[in-house]
Amino acid sequence: MRKITFALPVLFAIIAFSVFAGEDGDKLDGKGEKHAVAHVGSAEFERIKTLVGRWESEMPMPAGGKGAMTTVATEYRVAANGSVIVERNFPDTPKEMISVYHDRGGRLWMTHYCAKGNQPQMSLTKAADGAIALELVEGSLDSPDESHMHSVSIAFNGPDEMSQTWTMYEGGKQTMSHTMTYRRVR
């Protein structure tokens, strides 16, 4: 009886894994083995994939820093079989923020998990001249008057340089816009 009790959960796990691994989108290799086909998204989504790695920028220290500069980082990685890109701003710090890019209906979207405690969703509004811009999707916040990141634009300045411009709104009005230029460090 003990062998059956142990064997049943293992058998169910094997069956579940087999079903999951055999989902549509798998591809047979030359040896007849299945391998998952990585997701290919919109041109803008694929452009953000080129940012995978670690990037650093110099920015002024907070008030009281007397003109000193500090290095800040942003990291990009691909997850979920290539269907999302995870961006970590200020990684491994108390103010770390996560943005997750994905396609919805063939169009680039992003959810920004902000240090302010809200999660504005943004969608593509412009893609031209080596840059993309995303702006707040109406209704994605509890209140449009709360302080939130309203838009972001990313300029692809070369294979190892990019700029981000983040714009914050509160009370329906722009309160801040900040641009940082990053260099790839790995």
Burial class (CB within 10 angstroms; exposed 0-12, middle 13-18, buried 19+) of 49? middle
* Residues in CB range of 177: below 8 A, 6 or more apart: 165, 166, 167, 168
- Three-state DSSP class for residue 47: helix
* Residues in CB range of 75: below 8 A, 6 or more apart: 53, 54, 55, 87, 88, 91
Nearest to 182 by CA among 159, 169, 164: 164
Could you report how far apart the first and last alpha carbons of the chain are, in Å? 55
- How does pLDDT run across 107-164, given as a tens digit for each residue? 999 999 999 999 999 999 999 989 999 999 999 999 989 999 999 999 999 999 999 9
- Give the mean pLDDT of 36-60: 92
Q: Say whether pLDDT at 20 is over 70.
A: no
pLDDT confidence of residue 39: 83
CA distance 183 to 54: 9
**How much is the pTM?**
0.78
Cβ 181 vs Cβ 59: under 8 Å: no
The residue ranking higher by pLDDT, 2 or 85, is: 85
pLDDT confidence of residue 60: 80
Q: Which residue has tokens 């989108």?
A: 25
